[in-house]
Amino acid sequence: MTDNNIQSAAPEQHVHDLRAVYDMGNLRLDPSAGTGDRPWSVLRITPDQYSGSETLIGAAINAKTGELIDAATGKPAAEMSFPSGVIEQGSWTVITRIGTPAGNQTGRYKWTEPVNAKRRLDPDDVYRPFASGGIVLCRQNPQAEGLSQFNSVSLLPPGWETDVQSAFNTLQKNKVLSGKPASKTDISSLRTLASDANLFVSSMAFRLLAETGNLDSRTLQQNLAKAANYRRAVFMYVALINSAVGGASPVEPALAQAVQGVSQPANDRATVLASTAATLFNPELPNSRALSARLLGGIRNRPTPAVAARKPDPYVDQLLKLTHTP
């Protein structure tokens, strides 16, 4: 287990971490499902210099006149006649490949992702791993072209890549992690696995408890007491998005307690990261949004002893700006 210290994250890393917490809070792995020519792989994504730039799909520039033309016909065209897209290109390097270590260990990728008008924010709107880089867990076929080379892509928090192989070993032995608990024995197993040293195993077990209504305030409090850094952020995000719809949330007392008392910078970062992810990515959950706002308010309004007064945390400030929290 190597969950990097969230306190060491640079302020500009906040959008990377938002996407990673969202992806880990929604991660579903089934090692028994046939992967065929797409084995689960952990890849380091290194984008080219201009990856992430916007372009006009199908447009070109006439080298002689400098005017915009249709690349297919060569005829002049108005800018508004072309759809916008984001260039995503770069290289990948294998860190871990599950079950099939052979094959290409490095390669290239290139495509243009259309930018479509949407009514809600998608994780890619906040951070695109293939445009900005990072370490991802995905099912990959190196022989495929373009975006079809990668399936089921999840961005990993810093340090989590070292836990992938052992997570799959545990998943093979504990089928309860790949489905819904069907008995009290399954629920008991999930409670034990939620405290597992493996970051993926504990996060998936915790999510299953929350999704099936088996996460109460006491269980959450016990798990938060043992969790730190990005694992703590994932746990809090999962608890927030699975809080009760309407009425009092059974997990609110434990969440409220997490922001009380003396400020702990690393825990505050985890709380703000989780609350921001729930607010941005799950707008359809009003109870979650309200609970997130109360947590953020608790951190902002916590009295700071004059002797121990701290400078504002720019990482936290960047996250709060995304949710327009004063």
Tell whether the model's pLDDT for residue 308 goes beyond 50. no
Q: Which of 16-25, 76-85, 251-260 has the lowest mean pLDDT?
A: 76-85
Mean pLDDT in residue range 288-297:
87
More confident site: 81 or 164: 164
Find where tokens 């192989």 sit.
Answer: 165
Tell whether the model's pLDDT for residue 307 goes beyond 50. no
Residues 26, 242: contact at Cβ < 8 Å? no
99 in the Ramachandran plot: left (φ > 0), alpha (ψ -120 to 50) or beta? left
- Residues 150-173 have pLDDT tens digits of 999 999 999 999 999 999 999 988
- Residues 96-109 have pLDDT tens digits of 998 776 678 999 99
Tell whether the model's pLDDT for residue 248 goes beyond 90. no
Tell whether the model's pLDDT for residue 114 goes beyond 90. no
301 residue type, one letter? N
Tell whether the model's pLDDT for residue 211 goes beyond 50. yes
Tell whether the model's pLDDT for residue 304 goes beyond 70. no
Reported for 108-114, long-range contacts at CB under 8 A and 24+ positions apart, including other chains, are 109/146, 109/147, 109/149, 109/150, 110/146, 111/146, 111/147, 112/55, 112/57, 112/85, 112/86, 112/87, 112/88, 113/85, 113/86, 113/88, 113/147, 114/57, 114/83, 114/84, 114/85
Mean pLDDT in residue range 52-75:
76
More confident site: 156 or 56: 156
Element (H, E) at 276: helix 265-281
Tell whether the model's pLDDT for residue 233 goes beyond 50. yes
More confident site: 144 or 34: 144
Mean pLDDT in residue range 8-32:
92
Q: How many CB atoms lie within 10 A of CB 75?
A: 8
Percentage of the residues of the chain whose pLDDT score is greater than 90: 47
Q: Which of 77-86, 106-115, 314-323 has the lowest mean pLDDT?
A: 77-86
- Residues 188-206 have pLDDT tens digits of 999 999 999 999 999 999 9
Q: Is 83 exposed, middle or buried (0-12, 13-18, 19+ CB in 10 A)?
A: middle
- pTM score, whole prediction: 0.89
